[in-house]
Amino acid sequence: MFEEVLPPQGKFFGKVFAFPVRVYYEDTDAGGIVYYANYLRFAERARTEYVRALGCNQQEALQSEDRFAFAVRHLDIDYKAPAVLDDVLTVTCEIKEFRGATAMMFQQIWRGKELLAELNVKVAHLSLAKKRPVRIPESLIEAVEKL
């Protein structure tokens, strides 16, 4: 019955992945402006969908013997303008560099043609079983290089 209802999906524009996000009441503070930490949530959703769109099944990775996952190791964010209730945002994601077990990602949050925030995010690929970083799978690197 509800098979036709799908979750939001992003789209690749060359190497840049764009993911739609709507601002809900729960995302805002008492002044009606998106609470600063929620920009991180929007960016996380876009990174998750980016990896999914590349063909990486994160559920399978978590259920494998080593239980692999990505974790944010470092993040810089530059807020430029506020988002508000009911805004439709586009969150972009692009991998700029791979280094063994880490990847540098660049993200932007847009409202139409207005840039609201920029993020530089370093993620680490971890073996949760070994509790340490491990090389990013070659299949994921190849999928990014094909873009």
Q: Tell me how long the chain is.
A: 147
- Of 27, 29, 66, 87, the catalytic one is 29
Tally: H helices and E strands in the chain: 3, 7
Specify the residue for token string 């009441």: 25
- Pair of tokens at residue 13: 């524009």
> Catalytic: 29?
yes
Give the residue among 56, 50, 44, 55 at the shortest CA–CA distance from 18: 50
Q: Which residues are catalytic?
A: 29
